Amino acid sequence: MSQRVGFIGLGNIGKPMALRLAGWEGGLTVFDLAPEPLADAEKAGARIAASVAGLAAECGVISVMVNTDDQVREVMGEILGAARPGTVVAVHSTISPDLPPRLEDLAGRHDLLFVDAPVSGGAMGADAGTLAIMVGGSDEAFAAVSGPFALMGSEVVHCGPAGNGTAAKLARNLLHFVAFTATGEALRLAEASGIDLQALGRVVRHTDSITGGPGAIMHRSTAQEMEPGDGWVSIFEHVHALGAKDLGHAIELADRLGVEVPMARFAQDNLRGALGLPAPTEDEEN
């Protein structure tokens, strides 16, 4: 029989995640300090707990989606004294990278299992049940959460031991926000050229939906430099050739317009290494 699932923290992403769990066959119990999301969860069929401890006492899997490390620690402390042995605590919050292993150790001292399981996809993905959920923890803990997680996410990935879910989320968001910074640089260049920025935005979204954006090059199993005979070398040499040409032209335009493009210059110098290409031979350099 499926165990009851608990969900703590019904914020902008936590609430739609919890509502996806309303269909869990073992039942759903929720807790939050705000009354409005609790009322919505209750309408969907969830049971409302009077406290974190009350929720922990009746649930076999407990999802936690609060804001800060301190809040995670506080909730964890209330869970530890009430949860039954074998309960799995899943922290979906994006927390500091050194915290998950400590939480797993703490949970283990109370005969509980732990996973760090941050999510990507925002409120829209949470509402649609299409989140990516990156899970760090033991095989046993991952198996225990796979069923309810499948209701909340369409891409549930076991990333390795506790802490690796958080590391995966931080790597994913590094890409996200560095790309936002580069976007600002591109927008300034386009604006100085007299381009309609909203039209450019439509172009970017359109082409990324076709090509996959940065994820299009994320197929190798290592980020290390490729061996010369690797089948990816010829593909990425083509990518590098296009990138070097286009970055050079973009920097030339930026110089003419007086627009600072430090990220473009960094990319020009580092694209080859980022792609994992081996150093060029003397003939290639010449």
pLDDT at 279: 83
DSSP 218: T
Q: Are strands 5-8 and 61-64 parallel, antiparallel or unpaired?
A: parallel
Query: Is residue 39 located within the same domain as residue 101?
Result: yes
**Is residue 272 in some structural domain?**
yes
Residue 228: predicted pLDDT: 86
Question: What's residue 160's pLDDT?
Answer: 98
What CATH number is attached to the domain comprising 116?
Answer: 3.40.50.720
Select from 104, 136, 167 the last residue of a domain.
167
Helix segments in the chain, DSSP class H:
14-20, 35-43, 52-58, 69-80, 99-109, 122-128, 139-152, 164-192, 197-211, 232-257, 262-274, 282-285
Query: Has residue 121 been placed in a domain?
Result: yes
In a shared domain, residues 23 and 136: yes
Give residue 282's pLDDT.
Answer: 62
The predicted structure's pLDDT at residue 229: 87
- Looking at residue 90, its pLDDT comes to 98
Does 175 map to a domain? no
Phi, psi (deg, nearest 5) at residue 176: -60, -50
Domain assignment of residue 172, yes or no: no
The strand pairing partners of 134, in sequence order, are 157
Q: Is the same domain home to 22 and 136?
A: yes
* Cα separation of the two ends of the chain: 69
Q: What is the pLDDT of residue 284?
A: 58
The dihedral through the CA atoms of 235, 236, 240, 246 has a sign that is: positive
Rg (CA), the chain: 23
125 and 222 assigned to the same domain: no
**Phi and psi, residue 222, nearest 5°:** -150, 155
Same domain flag for 160 and 203: no
Write the Ramachandran bin of 122: left for phi over 0, alpha for psi from -120 to 50, otherwise beta.
left
Beta carbons of 52 and 80 less than 8 angstroms apart? no
Q: What CA–CA distance (Å, rounded) separates 16 from 71? A: 20
Instruction: Per residue of the chain (286 residues), give pLDDT as tens.
Output: 589 999 999 999 999 999 999 999 999 999 999 999 999 999 999 999 999 999 999 999 999 999 999 999 999 999 999 999 999 999 999 999 999 999 999 999 999 999 999 999 999 999 999 999 999 999 999 999 999 999 999 999 999 999 999 999 999 999 999 999 999 999 999 999 999 999 999 999 999 999 999 999 999 999 999 998 899 999 999 999 999 999 999 999 999 999 999 999 999 999 999 999 988 766 655 5
Q: Give domain status of residue 263, yes or no.
A: yes
Domains held by the chain: number = 2
Residues 210 and 101 grouped into a single domain: no
| Residues 142, 221 within the same domain | no
CATH number of the domain enclosing 246: 1.10.1040.10
Place of tokens 């920097």: 251
Residue 86 near residue 77 (C-beta atoms within 8 A): no
The answer to whether the pTM exceeds 0.85 is: yes
Does residue 201 share a domain with residue 152? no
Domain assignment present for 245 = yes
> For residue 178, is it within any domain?
no
Last-in-domain residue among 167, 197, 221: 167
Range of the domain at 35: 5-167
What is the pLDDT at residue 65?
98
* Same domain membership, residue 238 and residue 109: no
Look up 169 and say whether it is catalytic: yes
Cβ neighbourhood burial of 113 (10 Å; 0-12, 13-18, 19+): buried
Question: What is the per-residue pLDDT for 280?
Answer: 77
Structure tokens at 56: 């922990």
Instruction: Report whether 120 contacts 134 (CB < 8 A).
Output: yes
Q: Are residues 204 and 71 in the same domain?
A: no
Based on the fold, state whether residues 9 and 114 are members of the same structural domain. yes
Asked if residue 256 and residue 136 are part of one domain, the reply reads no
Find the catalytic residue in 15, 43, 169, 245: 169
**Buried b / exposed e across 81-92, counting CB within 10 Å, b at 16+?**
ebbeeebbbbbb
